Amino acid sequence: MDVQSLTAATQDYSKLVTDAMVVIVPPETSAWRLPAAVRKLIDDAVDQGDLALKAGRTLYAHRPSGLKVPRLVIAVAADGGGKAWRKALGAAFGHLKGSGAERAALVWAGAGEPDAAMAEAAVCVAQDAVYVYRHTKPSAAEAPKWTRLDLVCGEAAQADVDAGLTRGRAIAAGSTLAREVANRPGNHCTPSMLADHARELAKERGLKVEVLDRKDIEKLGMGAFLAVAQGSEEPPRFIVLRYQGAGKKDAPTVLVGKGITFDTGGISIKPSAEMDEMKFDMGGAASVLGTFRAIAELKPKINVVGLIPTCENMPDGRAIKPGDVVTSMSGKTIEILNTDAEGRLILCDALTYAERFKPAAVIDIATLTGAIIIGLGFQHAGLFSPDDTLADALLQAGRTSHDTAWRMPLDEEYDEGLKSHFADIPNIGARAGGAITAAKFLQRFTGKYRWAHLDVAGVAFRSGAAKGGTGRPVPLLTHYLLGQAG
């Protein structure tokens, strides 16, 4: 989707020449800035009971009289807020993608000019609306004809709008990459193929990439990661991506993404229902790739390292068994009481590996627990961090990008269940507060730097009719990194 700003020569949008005009109106009619023809049409639709001035409602008019455009879509935004703007855009774009329009103009009819945040949202929502997964489904619906959106604004607002569009384009491209990679089936996105995606991204975008294979991983002593990988015929990979936007000596931010390309649960096997969704268990890794895609385009003055431990979690004659004890890279021994708690096993070694970068902060992103879905549903990612400054910056980045997180506790009392008779630490704690005890496990490996953990099991993908990767939390992470660059 190509999105540009368009400064109208006059405020009279009735003269706009394009394939479709999308008008977003707030519910209070007094604030409207609209051509008379559009206002008349809305008034009439309201009178006739065809349009309620309620959030997300839309009205489509074909060849509306008094306008040059052949298509008009009206959508109602609840207020001037970003959430309402996105919701209205989503509803309006739903009409466009099935239409014959190739090019559309977007008009905000409320008070004030569109700003950078609204422009960024317009790109992201438009890109989201036209995304179609087709890699293994050639018969998927034809790509929408709609490929161009012009955001109408006054001359004074254009610089701000353009800055928002630039950010939006990068974030939308990053989210789309994350979705596309996450959507690939487990047999199309194996650890080696995930590494190929990283290599391709690095080549296209001028990033550094290193892919460690089983031998390298053995040399590093990543016994916990290798323990998960040993039950699969697919060889593991450890991907190291580097973006350098600041001086060589500047401490980098390290992003660690869980890259389980399929999670059967292993010997502690999962029930069959919905097990296909465990191909999304590399959603954290996909979001790291997507975030690198975004920052490689925006070029903030920071350094970022991406670490992706990736393997399958399979039941096999060689697979780990409940009760097995392995030695992690940190030297701590781990008793594997449940082979389905594998994410933390691959992450703990990546968290130890992260120490070598003397990082400014380490953020891991993982579809780690079903328990976070019980706690927070599908709205917010779970955010865990003992560092208030880091936590606040991430929460704020989530609010700004409408890719939100909710902070969860890490009190030491939650640690009590993490005791093993046969090792330094078991890989599961109490079932109560399972997302927190999982985070407490990870925390044991993070003493040497500022750390935050995002449990994205509820937000990285959707089930049901809209099944698929969401690209979250690429917007949150990108905004956080932009914020770090000042």
User: Does residue 167 have an active-site annotation?
Assistant: no
Residue 443: its H or E element = helix 434-443
148-153 and 2-7 beta bridge pairing = parallel
- Which of 83, 97, 270, 450 is catalytic? The answer is 270
Q: Is 343 in the site for Zn ion (CB under 5 A)?
A: yes
Q: Which residue lies nearer to Mn ion by CB, 164 or 236?
A: 236
Number of residues located near Mn ion, criterion CB under 5 A: 3
Q: Count other C-beta atoms under 10 Å from residue 334's C-beta.
A: 26
Under the criterion CB under 6 A, does residue 456 sit at the interface with ligand BES?
no
312 binds ligand BES (CB under 6 A): no
Among residues 299, 287, 281, 308, the alpha carbon closest in space to that of 401 is found at: 287
Q: Which of 306, 343, 359, 469 binds ligand BES (CB under 6 A)?
A: 343
- Confirm or reject binding of residue 338 to ligand BES (CB under 6 A): yes
Q: β-strand 58-62 against 71-76: which pairing, if any? A: antiparallel
Distance in Å, CB of 429 to ligand BES, minimum:
8
Span near ligand BES by CB under 6 A; candidates 20-28, 82-90, 216-224, 337-345: 337-345
Instruction: Give the shortest CB-342-to-Zn ion separation in angstroms.
Output: 6
Is 221 a binding residue for ligand BES by CB under 6 A? The answer is: no
- Is residue 312 a contact point for Mn ion (CB under 5 A)? no
Of the candidates 340, 349, 364, 415, which one interacts with ligand BES according to CB under 6 A? 340
Decide if 270 contacts 459 (C-beta within 8 A): no
Q: How far is CA 125 from CA 24, 71, 162, 414, in A?
A: 14, 20, 16, 39
Dmax of the chain from CA atoms?
Answer: 79
Catalytic residue from among 344, 440, 444, 472: 344
Please, are residues 233 and 158 in contact by the beta-carbon 8 Å criterion?
no
Distance CA 207, CA 174 (A): 14
Residues in the chain: 486
Determine if 340 is a binding residue for Mn ion (CB under 5 A). yes
- Contact partner at residue 403 from ligand BES, Zn ion, Mn ion, none, CB < 5 to 8 Å by partner kind: none
Binding of ligand BES by 457 (CB under 6 A) = yes
Which of 80-117 are b and which e, b meaning 16 or more Cβ less than 10 Å from the residue's Cβ? eebebbbbbbbbbbebbbebebeebbbbbbbeebbbbb
Residue 344 known to be catalytic = yes
Please give the torsion angle defined by the CA atoms of residues 146, 400, 301 and 254, in that order, rounded to the nearest 10 degrees: -100
CA atoms of 35 and 389, how far apart (whole Å) = 47
CA dihedral for 223, 225, 228, 229, sign (positive or negative) = negative
Q: Tell me: does residue 349 bind Zn ion (CB under 5 A).
A: no
* Residue 263 touches Zn ion, criterion: CB under 5 A: yes
Among 303, 369, 385, 470, binds ligand BES (CB under 6 A): 369
Distance CA 231, CA 335 (A): 17
Residue 392 parent element (H or E): helix 388-401
Judged by CB under 6 A, which of 428, 439, 476, 477 binds ligand BES? 428
We find the least distance from the C-beta atom of residue 341 to Mn ion, in angstroms, to be 6
Our CB check for ligand BES shows the closer of 296 and 460 to be 460
Please choose, out of 112-120, 248-256, 301-309, 364-372, the segment that lies near ligand BES by the rule CB under 6 A: 364-372
Nearer to Mn ion, 340 or 364 (CB): 340
Under rule CB under 6 A, residue 401 binds ligand BES: no
Q: How far apart are CB 238 and ligand BES at their closest, in Å?
A: 18
Residues noted as catalytic: 270, 344
Binding region for Zn ion (CB under 5 A): 260, 263, 281, 343
Binding region for ligand BES (CB under 6 A): 263, 281, 338, 340-343, 367-371, 428, 434, 457
